[in-house]
Structure 1
Amino acid sequence: MPLVPIATEASAHVKWFCAFDVAGQPRGLEQVLCADFEWLVALSLLCLMFGCLAEGTPLGTALLNALDRVTSRVRADTETLVRATLGFFFVSLWSLGGIILTPELKTDAAWIPWLQLGLAALLIWRQTMALTGLGIVFLFGYATWTYGVFHLADYPVFLGVAAYLVLTGTGRTLFGIRPLDVVRYAAAVTLMWASVEKWAYPDWTAPLIAAKPQMTMGASPELFMKAAGVIEFTLAFALVWTPLVRRTSAVILAAVFISAIFEFGKVDAIGHSGIIVVLLGIAADDARTAVRVRDVALAPAWYGAALAGFLTLYYVGHALLFGAPAGLAGVPVI
């Protein structure tokens, strides 16, 4: 079964197109952690290890050099591209009206569209782009107050983008971490969390699958959603790993999100524009570090820890906020 096309077809944010209930009980862990899930994870780990083993070899160096050449213009203009894309994003939100940052976060507050238009205007000048970053933090906090922490856990990438704008606009780093790396980590966390949601609430996507049955490419909806989640999680984890692995992942993810626009249209284009431009910036980033043997050897362990950590965080967090689901029966909540 071709796995990357599955991710391409499932990359639209389901909350923008289908009914959902964040407070509803998620699929039990005993249903998620099944044989299909295990072989999908094993296959993804093999692909990740192949990328890790290529690091530091002549093949890996050649691939990095090729990426450097192809993405040179994007690298030189990353800041300009981010500002222009976010300007498009905020002007689009102002035009649509009644939206806080992302399509499913609706609001009746008349001042929010105008604030978002103002944030777009502040991106025209480098000296004021930090104010746009602070505005994003304010809107994120307002949305969290309105919709709850668990719902906004889908979108830490907005905080990463805000940090990028503030740090870049003021010429600073975050305790030595570059602005692009801050938003890279935020994008990885966002996508790993979204992956768990695909496993926890596969039924949310049922209307999309019913309307577009070709999405599953002959697989059952259950297997399709597990595969989509595993692929997304693996690519998201790769964003925090070594240079070749994270740049390749960024290229694949950007292609996935761009391809989804042709399938799902304007809403998807607006909603994902910010993360697409961030991924392009990551793909173009030519910062290199010496790859150590332990970077390769420890990849499966860190991947497993990330997978276990996000599953635990999602299910325990949901149990604390909304009550323990059947899948956590007998599991102590600490």
Structure 2
Amino acid sequence: MQYRFMLFFIVISAITPIIANAHVKWFTEVAPVKASIENILSPLFLTISLLAAIILAILPQVLPYVMNLEFSKLLNEKLSNLRRYSRYFLKYGTALALIIQVTNGTVFAPEFLIQETFVLIFVWVAIALLLIPHHFFTKIGAVVLLGLFIHMTIRIGIFHMLDYGFYVAIIGVLLVGHTKYESIGFPFLYLGTGLSLCWVAVEKWVYPSMSLDIVMNHGVPTFGFEPEIFIVLAAFVEFIVGYLLVVGILNRLLALVVTIIFVLTTMLFGITEIIGHFMIHVILIIFIIEGVSFYNPPFKMHKTKLDQMIFVFLNFIFVLSTFVLIYYRFA
């Protein structure tokens, strides 16, 4: 049973286009052209939306059986023993990600070039503070990072910076460490990362021409699908991964699958991919370690299985519709 279940997700990840977890802005010079709402809400889009909602509604009912398998229990125990290192992974992983970025003349993302001297100085200050093994300096470093993020938001625009909202979550985790609010840190990280993935996924539906350019010019395998269909499927896989992270379902396996996909994108896109996604790798390692032991999925507020399935189904449709509407209207 466990092998069939894992094989299912490996197959899903295999047909996930490598572009699914790549920020299209990094790899194309094509001007963004917004698709019409009629083209976005195509019969293919609506059909996949319903199928995805049905699968997601069933998934939470299957997971308890999988988690009770001996293999799952052993893996969970081994990974849980590493939880005490999670905050160190985040703290020093963030410092290393910033070092990789700043040595390439960027901050937060490959497209954000460092243009001001004070930004360069403050990035190095943040790195130095994060490398000091004391939570007081970690908090100061997080405040410096928050200032840099606000500066880049003013310069770039809030809707562009939403692609990198997980940095706000990282800053939040670093700030609440060794305080009475420490327990909300990692749930906030799950939320921020999941929402960022959902936001980036919608870009592929609203601005499909940029993704098409990458598929054509970078030799992205489409596994027999037409490029236009492939991009729609890619965005759905990424959106579903983000959604599952937010609602607290299947995080360890998801983190492992997405990590594998990121390794594949690195082989395809090279150094730009490493610069841009190193921080995501750090977060995914933390998710693999942490699991969701601290997280109470929202669907559990309902008592019966049928109520839970209806909730997940309707909630996914609502979240998907909201993201598409907001992105199409404002981005």
Q: What TM-score do the two structures reach when normalised by structure 1?
A: 0.84
**2:5 corresponding residue in structure 1:** none
Equivalent in 125, 149, 159 of residue 118 of structure 1: 125
Write out aligned runs for 1:241-260 (5 A). 241-242=247-248, 244-260=249-265
**Is it true that 1:173 corresponds to 2:178 in the alignment?**
no
Displacement after TM superposition at 1:197 (Å): 0.2
State the distance in 2 between where 1:104 and 1:20 align: 14
**Is it true that 1:17 corresponds to 2:27 in the alignment?**
yes
Displacement after TM superposition at 1:304 (Å): 0.5
| Kept in 2: contact 1:236–1:249 (CA 8 A) | no
**Is it true that 1:132 corresponds to 2:141 in the alignment?**
yes
Displacement after TM superposition at 1:66 (Å): 4.2
Displacement after TM superposition at 1:204 (Å): 0.9
Moved more, 108-117 or 82-91: 108-117
**1:238 corresponding residue in structure 2:** 244
**2:86 corresponding residue in structure 1:** 78
Distance 1:37 1:190, change over 3 A: same
**1:324 corresponding residue in structure 2:** none
**1:312 corresponding residue in structure 2:** 325
After superposing on structure 2, the runs of 4+ consecutive aligned residues of structure 1 that deviate more than 4 Å are 288-292
**Is it true that 1:193 corresponds to 2:199 in the alignment?**
yes
Displacement after TM superposition at 1:154 (Å): 1.4
Residue identity matched to 2:164: Y
Could you list the runs of 5+ residues in structure 1 that have no partner in the other structure? 319-334
Deviations 1:71-93 (A, max 9, x none): 24542311111122112111112
**1:48 corresponding residue in structure 2:** 56
User: What percentage of residue pairs aligned between the two structures are identical?
Assistant: 20
State the distance in 1 between where 2:162 and 2:112 align: 13
**2:312 corresponding residue in structure 1:** 299
What is the RMSD of the two structures over their aligned residues, measured on CA atoms? 2.3
**Is it true that 1:101 corresponds to 2:112 in the alignment?**
no
**1:226 corresponding residue in structure 2:** 232
State the distance in 2 between where 1:309 and 1:163 align: 25
**Is it true that 1:204 corresponds to 2:210 in the alignment?**
yes
State the distance in 2 between where 1:50 and 1:259 align: 29
**What SS is found at the alignment partner of 2:107?**
coil
| Kept in 2: contact 1:14–1:204 (CA 8 A) | yes
Displacement after TM superposition at 1:20 (Å): 5.1
Could you list the runs of 5+ residues in structure 2 that have no partner in the other structure? 1-10
Displacement after TM superposition at 1:64 (Å): 5.0
**Is it true that 1:213 corresponds to 2:219 in the alignment?**
yes
State the distance in 2 between where 1:6 and 1:114 align: 43
Displacement after TM superposition at 1:46 (Å): 4.0
Residue identity matched to 1:116: V
Q: What TM-score do the two structures reach when normalised by structure 2?
A: 0.85
Displacement after TM superposition at 1:200 (Å): 0.7
Aligned residues: 309
| Kept in 2: contact 1:240–1:246 (CA 8 A) | no
**2:97 corresponding residue in structure 1:** 89
Distance 1:178 1:67, change over 3 A: farther
